[in-house]
Structure 1
Amino acid sequence: MLNDICQFECFLPTSREKAFQLVVDHPEKWWISPFLEEGGQAVIASAVGIEPHPGGVCYEMDPAGRRRIWGTVLSIEPPLYIRIAWQVSPNRVPIGDPAASSRVMMEFRASGSSARLVVTHSEFVRHGEGADGYRSFMGEPMGWPKLLANLSHAARERP
């Protein structure tokens, strides 16, 4: 694999502390389910949560009450960063084992009265054969750019 990383940044119109809280405590404001139902339909999440401690899970609930884990918190240091095992496969189904998952680091930096968020998604090689295509997908408009656009919108709306 030539490049096993995709990286994005955005500036959020809020403090670093509030940006961190928005990401970790209110993922329902920016999250879009990456999962697909068996028929290829996108999953609509009715609830989303992040358990903010090492070993905590990142999950969503669908309207039928099924819980899908999309990540495991590997390390967290409020308000500086959260590092997650990304437990979503290239074919958009959950991966049970965090060790078989790529990694996402979300770093929060102060930038005047704003927060600079740097997202680094790496170790796609852990996803096997579909790794290159998956890395490309996460860099496309419906991957990280969409999640960060949602996050930026949520930060502007937050009191």
Structure 2
Amino acid sequence: MPVDPHEAPVEVEVEVGCSPDHAWRLWTERMDVWWPPGKSVAGGDAEVVVEARPGGRIYERTPDGVEHDWGRVVATDPPHRIAFTWHLMFDAADATDVEVTFTPIADGTRVRVVHTGWDRLARERGTDVAAQRRDRNRAGWTAVTAAFRAAAGD
């Protein structure tokens, strides 16, 4: 049975000129350095925290201490992979799934984001909602990985 195009994974890939270990640490320990401010709940000066362990939270913290959950870490394999649920700006009940891999290449690292779970969201909230969020996340991950690439020195 063919996959509905609105339910197909969002896949975004960039190459960065640093080691997988450096790319992993930049993604998991310094996200607030490169995450675009317009791609958060509070925007601006919020700190972004990734607790890079299974069960760990991904969230932003405003300067006055208010926290906004973005997701939960499901699995890690430093410095190769992190997988997490994702519900930035939405209820946790509508979370989808993201996997980020860091693969060594000749000149650095290939960073690949694969975002899935649109079929589940379509069943729960309808195909229009799933399609809209999928398209929005495709644009978001494209902007986010471009910012990551710039921060990694490319």
Q: TM-score range by the shorter chain?
A: 0.7 to 0.9
1:117 paired residue among 111, 115, 118: 111
Contact 2:20 2:109 in 1 (8 A): yes
Structure 1 residue 94 displacement after superposition: 3.8
Contact 2:87 2:96 in 1 (8 A): yes
| Aligned equivalent of 1:101 | 95
| Aligned equivalent of 2:86 | 86
TM value normalised by structure 2:
0.84
| Aligned equivalent of 1:2 | 4
1:155 aligns with 2:149: no
Q: State the Cα deviation string for residues 93-115 of structure 1 (Å, max 9, x = none).
A: 34234xx4100000110001310
Identity of aligned residues (%): 25
Q: Structure 2 stretches of 5 or more lacking a match?
A: none
Structure 1 residue 45 displacement after superposition: 4.4
- Alpha-carbon separation, structure 2, partners of 1:138 and 1:94: 12
Q: Counterparts in 2 of 1:36-115, with a 5 A limit?
A: 36=41, 43-88=43-88, 93-97=89-93, 100-115=94-109
Q: 1:27 to 1:151 in 2, by over 3 A?
A: same
AA in 2 matched with 1:11: E
How many residues are aligned here? 144
* Greater helix proportion: 2
Q: Structure 1 stretches of 5 or more lacking a match?
A: 37-41
Q: State the Cα deviation string for residues 83-137 of structure 1 (Å, max 9, x = none).
A: 010022xxxx34234xx41000001100013100111011123332311011111
- Alpha-carbon separation, structure 2, partners of 1:60 and 1:103: 18
Give 4+ residue runs of structure 1 displaced > 6 Å after superposition. Answer: none
- Alpha-carbon separation, structure 2, partners of 1:84 and 1:62: 22
